[in-house]
Amino acid sequence: MLDMRIQTFLTVCATMNYTRASEILNITQPAVSQHIRYLEQEYGCRLFSYSGKKLQLTSAGRMLQQTATAMRNDEMLLKKQILKRDAEEIPVHFGVTMTIGEYVIAKPLAKYLKEHPHADIRMTIGNTEKLIRELRSGELHFALMEGYFDRRDFDFMTYATVPFIPVCAAGHVFEKQPEKIADLLNENLLIREPGSGTRDVLEKQLAAMGMAAGDFSGHTEIGGMHAILQMLEEDAGISFLYRSAASAQIANGVLREIQLKDFDVKHDFAFIWEKGSTYTEIYRRICTEFMKNGEKTD
């Protein structure tokens, strides 16, 4: 069981407010302050500092937060493992981003379950922002995602490097044949919701080219890749997505890739989990089996 002072520290990290932390923990604010002072004396450094009136972690505090979070999440999983009849088979809850959940993971997961019929495994689909939040809280043990993540906080394995391409309806007619991304700015852009890895990749790429989603003549926010593909088929705009998501429609001649001279983008799908987890080797084994059973995504 984690020391109560570490639990207090993690609660302050989550709230960045001593008063709010005391309310959550149902202890007094002076008790919260005392717990933090004890840890600072124990480690011989400041864990928090103030920038104006805003509380923030020091570099040492960030190191402790990372390690303590992994310890807390491992303890949560250990409790579940102990309660199982077969303590060797740990209950695993992992997450995938929506594109991966809808177009990539089904066959590898099915093969894994056939090879491990007694596996206690559960999968959640959500956008990158949600998965990162649930990894930090311990609700998820690992995730397979396409979005950006902080490599200081997570260990990772690359699942695949996937082309990220502009797509339109097969019969879409442009005012002039586009050669560069700027030639698409008079089109309606179909884009995922904030927090989506697909959107994050696109926005970062556009920013590197001195552009933004708002530069298109219109942009329509859609909260799911399946709906975007349907709207592309109806010629309601153009979009940027992973080739693996549109490969069937491209092969069937319903959609087509827009060939551009200045847009050649690839991005990693990656397994990630809390850095320092004692279950790292188990996560690596599961992830490696998924990779072995997966199909080429490009």
- Residue 252 phi/psi, 5-degree rounding, is -85, -5
In a domain, 79, yes or no: no
Q: pLDDT-derived band of residue 208, with 50, 70 and 90 as boundaries?
A: very high
Predicted pLDDT of residue 296: 55
Predicted pLDDT of residue 288: 92
Q: pLDDT-derived band of residue 80, with 50, 70 and 90 as boundaries?
A: low
Q: In one letter, which amino acid is 146?
A: E
Residue 10 pLDDT greater than 70, yes or no = yes
Find out whether 159 and 153 touch, Cβ atoms under 8 Å. no
Q: Are residues 182 and 238 in the same domain?
A: yes
In a domain, 222, yes or no: yes
| Crossing angle of the two packed helices 106-115 and 280-293, in degrees rounded to 10 | 110
Q: Determine the average pLDDT of the residues in 200-210.
A: 94
Chain segment 89-98, per-residue pLDDT in tens: 678 899 999 8
For residue 127, what is the domain's CATH number? 3.40.190.10
Chain segment 128-171, per-residue pLDDT in tens: 889 998 998 888 999 999 888 888 889 999 999 999 999 999 99
115 bridge partner residues: none
Q: Are residues 97 and 229 in the same domain?
A: no
Q: Are residues 252 and 110 in the same domain?
A: no
In a domain, 18, yes or no: yes
> Which of 294 and 18 is assigned the larger pLDDT?
18
Chain segment 29-45, per-residue pLDDT in tens: 888 999 999 899 988 99
Q: Are residues 93 and 187 in the same domain?
A: no
Chain segment 165-193, per-residue pLDDT in tens: 999 999 999 988 999 999 999 999 999 99
Q: Are residues 261 and 233 in the same domain?
A: yes
Q: Are residues 134 and 154 in the same domain?
A: yes
Q: Are residues 136 and 63 in the same domain?
A: no
In a domain, 232, yes or no: yes
Q: pLDDT-derived band of residue 257, with 50, 70 and 90 as boundaries?
A: very high
For residue 49, what is the domain's CATH number? 1.10.10.10
Predicted pLDDT of residue 51: 85
257 bridge partner residues: 167
Q: List the one residue out of 231, 239, 232 whose CA is nearest residue 184.
A: 239
d(CA 73, CA 70): 5
- Residue 238 phi/psi, 5-degree rounding, is -115, 165
Phi-psi region of 122 (alpha: psi -120 to 50; beta: other; left: phi over 0): beta
**Distance between the two ends of the chain, CA-based, in angstroms?**
45
Predicted pLDDT of residue 87: 45
Q: Are residues 277 and 142 in the same domain?
A: yes
Predicted pLDDT of residue 71: 79
Q: Are residues 258 and 284 in the same domain?
A: no
d(CA 195, CA 265): 20
d(CA 103, CA 277): 29
Query: What is the C-alpha R_g of the chain?
Result: 23
Q: Are residues 280 and 153 in the same domain?
A: yes
Predicted pLDDT of residue 68: 83
Q: Are residues 67 and 91 in the same domain?
A: no
Mean pLDDT for the chain?
Answer: 89
pTM for the full predicted model: 0.68
115, with CB counted inside 10 A (0-12, 13-18, 19+), is exposed
In a domain, 118, yes or no: yes
C-alpha dist (Å) from residue 248 to 53, 111, 163, 234: 54, 21, 15, 16
In a domain, 142, yes or no: yes
d(CA 291, CA 105): 10
Q: Are residues 113 and 254 in the same domain?
A: no
167 bridge partner residues: 239, 257
In a domain, 19, yes or no: yes
Predicted pLDDT of residue 173: 94
Q: Determine the average pLDDT of the residues in 111-139.
A: 89
User: How many CB atoms are closer than 10 A to CB 72?
Assistant: 16
Q: Of all residues in the chain, what percent carry a pLDDT higher than 70?
A: 94
- The domain of 92 spans 86-158+269-293
Number of domains in the chain: 3
Q: Determine the average pLDDT of the residues in 58-87.
A: 74
What is the 3-state secondary structure of 4-69?
HHHHHHHHHHHHCCHHHHHHHHCCCHHHHHHHHHHHHHHHCCCCEEEECCEEEECHHHHHHHHHHH
Q: pLDDT-derived band of residue 81, with 50, 70 and 90 as boundaries?
A: low
- Residue 177 phi/psi, 5-degree rounding, is -60, 120
> Which of 10 and 297 is assigned the larger pLDDT?
10
In a domain, 81, yes or no: no
189 bridge partner residues: 219, 238
Q: Determine the average pLDDT of the residues in 14-27.
A: 91
Q: pLDDT-derived band of residue 1, with 50, 70 and 90 as boundaries?
A: low
Q: List the one residue out of 161, 174, 188 whose CA is nearest residue 256.
A: 174
Predicted pLDDT of residue 261: 95
